[in-house]
Amino acid sequence: MAMELNEIIKQRKDKLKLFKDKGIETYPHKFSRTHLISELLGNFQENQQVIIAGRLIAKRAHGKACFCDLKDQSAKVQLYVKKDIVGDDNFSLFQELDIGDFLGINGAMFKTHTGEVTVKVEGFVLLSKSLRPLPEKWHGLKDIQIRYRQRYIDLISNEDVQKVFLMRSKIVSWIRNFLDKKGFIEVETPMMHYIPGGAAGKPFKTHHNELDMDLYLRIAPELYLKRLLVGGFEKVYEINRSFRNEGISTRHNPEFTMLELYSAYDNYEDMMSLCQELIANCAKEILSKTTLTFAGKEISLSGKWQTRSFAEAVNEKFGIDAGDDVKTMLKKLKAKGREIKEEKLSRMQIVRIIEEFLQEDQSALPVFFTDYFSILCPLAKNKKENPLLSERFELFMGGMEVANAYSELNDPIEQRSRFMEEIRDEKDKKELDEDYVTALEYGMPPAGGLGIGIDRLAMIFLDQPSIRDVVLFPLLRLEKDKEEKE
């Protein structure tokens, strides 16, 4: 197979040389077109002169004429190339073109006797030579590893994959517009942090040479966004890239996209309403429906979404109470048959185990879990009626966590105490973020904060089984490492 590929590449390089030897510029710097192909199909005008560009995806020779298909991002159209029109030399050159080449075309619009919209080619320009053959003759790329490792081939071969990423882009654009109309402003905060914080997760570590300083890729933008509330902004959001140095699965990629927003003078109940409004309206506007199908199950976004108590669910399943310390929680988890090898776990690890149960037991329908243990929520306010529980919710849809929200803790004395307790409990000692506590000492208004996982939301909206199917370039093991491991 390698020999066959090498021979094909050699043949295509010879064809490229043929064009060059005739003094033809083979990789021009620019090409100006008058129309996208979709515009021609949607507004056909007989004999209209057009200039289009795209990739050649099919050729059908008929003696002194040739029918082809040309595709740009918007659509594909048939080309009719006739020797009598383009001339002998140009027709011979056109015959040397390969599937995959990018062409610029000028010509006139007409319809064939079967009614197919077609461009009668009067001239063409080779814009880029495809030296490698397209996979599987356009029947669709099936090898999942190639699809993820070489996404460009996946996008060429699988039109449905292109549609997924175009729809993802529309979802993100709609969310921006929705929040802008509600008075939120979009901001950008640092991706390199002195101290990792704002969420439970293991960070990636890097080093700045000039400053001779260790830094961490952010695990969440939370603490910087809340500094902006201190500074006087009342509604802020960031569609951010965050990083967690943890496992890879169908639901986890080390680099991921989150929407995180904060609204002064609101609380977690306001965030619950905002979360449902955003997700339900986004589905309605982008997908034109409010009942989705994900992994074979229906998810209805209409009506009031279900609310359940995390504290009650965990007590029913494991006998764990909000007042239990970490050791007691661990003991009860083991007693209920959870296989746990380590003798000491952090709160982050325990909450992951508990949340796995929630994901296993839930239907696809949206459900807000409230009443999280305060010990698991160092940045959230406690409930007035029960300080052992926090004013927090997590939204589960399609059996996985999609959103998280708090009534934000804005008491600097309490926040410092929580940070110190967290530092004492964690195996990996953390540094206290003094600057964040200092910011709170200047005064932060009461606020609600909401985070939504864009990748997981796209998975559900577009019915994709893996996060890798909605991330253009997911992180994968290097092929040589994969081969050695096998």
pLDDT (tens digit per residue) in 388-418? 999 999 999 998 899 999 999 999 999 999 9
pLDDT of residue 362: 66
Mean pLDDT of 290-302: 94
More confident residue, 213 or 426: 213
pLDDT tier for residue 138 given thresholds of 50, 70 and 90: very low
pLDDT of residue 323: 86
Q: Where are the domains of the chain?
A: 2-133, 154-485
Supply the mean pLDDT for the chain: 90
pLDDT of residue 456: 97
Secondary structure string (H, E, C) spanning the chain = CHHHHHHHHHHHHHHHHHHHHCCCCCCCCCCCCCCCHHHHHHCCCCCCEEEEEEEEEEEEEECCEEEEEEECCCCEEEEEEEHHHHCHHHHHHHHCCCCCCEEEEEEEEEECCCCCEEEEEEEEEEEECCCCCCHHHHCCCCCHHHHHHCHHHHHHHCHHHHHHHHHHHHHHHHHHHHHHHCCCEECCCCCEECCCCCCCCCCCEEEECCCCEEEEECCCCHHHHHHHHHCCCCEEEEEEEEECCCCCCCCCCCEEEEEEEEEECCCHHHHHHHHHHHHHHHHHHHHCCCEEEECCEEEECCCCCEEEEHHHHHHHHHCCCCCCCHHHHHHHHHHCCCCCCCCCCCHHHHHHHHHHHHHHHCCCCCEEEECEEHHHCCCECECCCCCCEECEEEEEECCEEEEEEEEECCCHHHHHHHHHHHHHHCCCCCCCCHHHHHHHHCCCCCEEEEEEEHHHHHHHHCCCCCHHHCCCCCCCCCHHHHHHHC
Q: Which CATH number fits domain 2-133: 3.30.1370.60, 1.20.140.10, 3.10.580.10, 2.40.50.140?
A: 2.40.50.140
Give the lowest-confidence range in 179-183, 210-214, 247-251.
Answer: 247-251
For residue 426, pLDDT over 70 is answered with no
For residue 3, pLDDT over 80 is answered with no
pLDDT of residue 480: 62
pLDDT (tens digit per residue) in 235-290? 999 999 999 998 888 888 999 999 999 999 999 999 999 999 999 999 999 999 99
Mean pLDDT of 85-91: 95
pLDDT of residue 256: 94
pLDDT (tens digit per residue) in 311-361? 998 898 888 888 888 788 888 888 887 777 666 666 667 777 777 766 666
Q: Which CATH number fits domain 154-485: 1.10.1760.20, 3.30.930.10, 3.40.50.300, 3.40.50.10490?
A: 3.30.930.10
pLDDT of residue 334: 82
pLDDT tier for residue 484 given thresholds of 50, 70 and 90: very low
Mean pLDDT of 43-59: 96
pLDDT tier for residue 467 given thresholds of 50, 70 and 90: very high
pLDDT of residue 122: 97
For residue 486, pLDDT over 50 is answered with no
pLDDT of residue 2: 55
